[in-house]
Structure 1
């Protein structure tokens, strides 16, 4: 029985090898690798990566092709387009395949009619700002020096026009800075749209930072200047000087002078003769002073004819 089984196995192998030595025409698949893609074009996320072909070859070669797929480079230098459709004519595509096949293997048929349509789209690019979604809770007597800094403050998005037209900005992740009394920095991810499968973003994260300083206070007394006063009258305001509570760095406060401020009242705003009051406006303050609060919001006045 064992001898019979051995003879049967040998006979089967001899028949199998004999058949593999013959030539056949059969279907198989080639993997596609695209090269020389124009810089202005992008492949869609899901695009054709294989093609069915009919070839004529020896049995051993067909077995190898079905076990280990052959990679075919598709050169897109000759790509054509009509409107938004990009394609290679079969004559061009077929020639590229045949040039990469050994002499022992011949291409009989390509598995599509006359055109290889490509899932390509034109690349559009635009720049959009980044908006931070952070909250900053400062410790007592501390303040931000200028605004929060976002690095980068904008990103580039690239993709089909139909996708990127809907994007006007991107937001960062939410984050809370608590009881801050020193400079801070935090890397945060961007909340990028997940449904835009063919859009690419230059950045997926940003760094949010800020500079903090401890402030001090100083009261400056500034004279009131009345604007647009008629020539035939003089005016006296009560009070004629107003105190301003200034907040700034200690070093900046030391340099603050009365002449750095301009406190004005516009006589053109006087409308009620029964109420001789003018509102005050701080028209000028030093750059280093981040807060300047008037102790008086308005002044009373007396007019005198010249």
Structure 2
């Protein structure tokens, strides 16, 4: 394996100048940088990532914290990961997934090891214990989601008010007046998306009816079977519960993801969550923090209405 000394000799510069290029610690002229990079390519030199991290006190690694044991990884979560990883790669960072619990029990140890420069926190609760850990350890972070009092925090989230309003208006235009909500798993009563969706529905719907459901097809089927006969349309918050609900009722379900619509034999309309945009914006906001920029303005994005062909 080629060494820094060999790269320096090939490029006709000092070892220190090669180090400046590798670690970004001092400016180097474009011509000199080009000679060093050409020498590295010719010699097959590979950067020592660990040494570079020690020199810069940065790893260029971001961690996306996702409580996989509490929340199943659905299509929206997958889009969070892939879009965040793409955004990080574009800005010379790498993104890793930390599947730690919502209680934050493992988070303190992970951030204390200095493995990641910052954290993208997902599946945010209204009173999230993980925030205190990140703040106490001075770990830069941004949220995909919001706490009950998000002022001063860096976050992106779905605009649940606009999304529910869009859903209800669409069903109203279809002639439906008796519209129920199959809500999320009651075990997660502090989970932001569930609370905000239900609050928006209760505020906007006429004669609202909320039926909770765990995030499984069997639970969705059981929830749909408990709906009164006069209900003609239903909003289903979770994609797994929606599969069961759609197999039971002749009502018109309105869902959150296209994958569920494709798997059902019932004609479905769905709301596409802006997961890819949220993953990208959250990652960019975190990197801006790491580069010393002010806390970015929070973004709230509504879902978009789609219909299965």
User: Normalised by the shorter chain, which TM-score bucket?
Assistant: under 0.3
TM-score (norm 1): 0.26
If each structure's helix is expressed as a fraction of its own residues, which one has the higher value? 2
The structure with higher relative contact order (CA 8 Å, sep 6+) is 2
If each structure's strand is expressed as a fraction of its own residues, which one has the higher value? 1
Flag the structure with larger Rg.
1
TM-score (norm 2): 0.25
